[in-house]
Amino acid sequence: MEKPVIIGIGYTRIGEHWEKSLRELAVEAALMALDNAGVNRVDAIYVSNMMSGALQEQEHLGSLIATYLGLKGTPACKIEAACASGGMAIHQAFLAVASGYYDTVLVVGVEKMTDRLTSEVTFALAMAEDREYVVSTGATFVGLNALLYRLYLTKFNVDQKSIAKFPVIAHENALNAPHAQLKRKISVEDVLSSPIIADPIHLFECAPIGDGAAALVIASPKAAKESQKDTYIELAGSAAATDIMSLHERLDLLTLFASVKASQKAYKMAKVKPSDIDILEVHDAFSILAPIALEDLGFAKKGEGWKMIENMDVSLSGNLPTNTMGGLKARGHPVGATGIYQAVDAILQLKGEAGKNQVDNPTLALLQSTGGVGGTVVVNILKKR
């Protein structure tokens, strides 16, 4: 099997785009990706999005975006896997191109959240959990992640200051990311003195609400050669997995089984191991997810992921630079587009185009895209060719 390659990227700044609609954001990013790839047509379009039905009262995004791109006749559909929608769209494009059925696929992720009240967005986000048996009790995503956080602190006897360093690092990285939403330096003291949203999670440990779109053109090696690109980014490994959806039914709350399974499959496909990875993009919608991800992906022993944060191993100058453009916490988290933004950030690093945030000569990047509280996880491994 020839591995697909990424030949074009596009993205908008993440923030409050009052003047742009969901379709306008998606088209802006998509046109940038097509232009970057040097193509004007593709064989298929996958649109990753979670909440357009709830927030814009608009579904059928595949046809909508194809229409406004002027690509009549192109097969297109929406792909939804909660916050893992972007990662899943990349995975589906990987399968479609690797199978030989399509030569080029446009993947565009988009979410428009700021036009609605926070309570409405919170309600829509909760659709990623079991509405009938969990959300009906009043549970929210921040509340569910707070349960993990409290258990992690207690079970492993961890000082919360160590985990609170992760959003501090994220904000530091976002300062020089032109597309980041939150360009503000913060301290551990700022994090721990910010309002508690669900004990022990503070406001500055949560990803913000924002609008944005990002896009990729994924192609076969043959199609990539025709585009005459000098540098290719290979999708060396791509795998998806699910876990039991709700926390109360799981045997181990502090291991996201889907993350473990998907990463193991992706490592095997790419023929690499955790120690080979140069840069990492993890799903840090809440700060506690960062140390858990480091453990589940094989970079730290169980209960010791926080040590990598405490020791600054995940900073730009550390052994494993992580979320180098600010991650969900500071770059932003427009849900359906987040997995695509992770790929964009990693590609900028691999191509040496990350500006002041550039890591020294990276060749391998791992992206972890998580839906719900680990109900779905997609792991994509990118390799510079």
* Tens-place pLDDT, residues 79-127: 999 999 999 999 999 999 999 999 999 999 999 999 999 999 999 999 9
Residue 150 has pLDDT above 80, yes or no: yes
Query: Measured on CA atoms in the order 93, 97, 101, 107, is the torsion positive or negative?
Result: positive
Q: Do 341 and 333 meet the contact criterion of CB atoms below 8 Å apart?
A: no
pLDDT of residue 348: 98
Concerning whether 77 is annotated as a catalytic residue, the answer is no
Whether 356 and 289 map to the same domain: the answer is: yes
Residue 126 lies in a domain: no
* Tens-place pLDDT, residues 44-67: 999 999 999 999 999 999 999 999
Range of the domain at 11: 5-117+210-233
User: pTM of the predicted model, to two decimals?
Assistant: 0.98
Residue 125 lies in a domain: no
Domain count, the chain: 2
Whether 261 and 229 map to the same domain: the answer is: no
* Tens-place pLDDT, residues 235-291: 999 999 999 999 999 999 999 999 999 999 999 999 999 999 999 999 999 999 999
Residue 231: count of CB within 10 angstroms of its CB: 13
Whether 107 and 20 map to the same domain: the answer is: yes
Residue 190 has pLDDT above 80, yes or no: yes
Whether 160 and 59 map to the same domain: the answer is: no
Whether 86 and 149 map to the same domain: the answer is: no
Concerning whether 17 is annotated as a catalytic residue, the answer is no
Distance CA 163, CA 260 (A): 21
Q: Position of tokens 């709830």?
A: 54
For residue 226, the domain's CATH number is 3.40.47.10
Q: Which of 171, 179, 202, 333 is catalytic?
A: 333
Whether 249 and 344 map to the same domain: the answer is: yes
Q: Which of 17, 77, 83, 91 is catalytic?
A: 83
Whether 147 and 295 map to the same domain: the answer is: yes
CB burial readout 355-377, b (16+ within 10 A) else e? eebbbeebebbbbbbbbbbbbbb
Please say which residue of 171, 198, 233 terminates a domain: 233
Residue 205 has pLDDT above 70, yes or no: yes
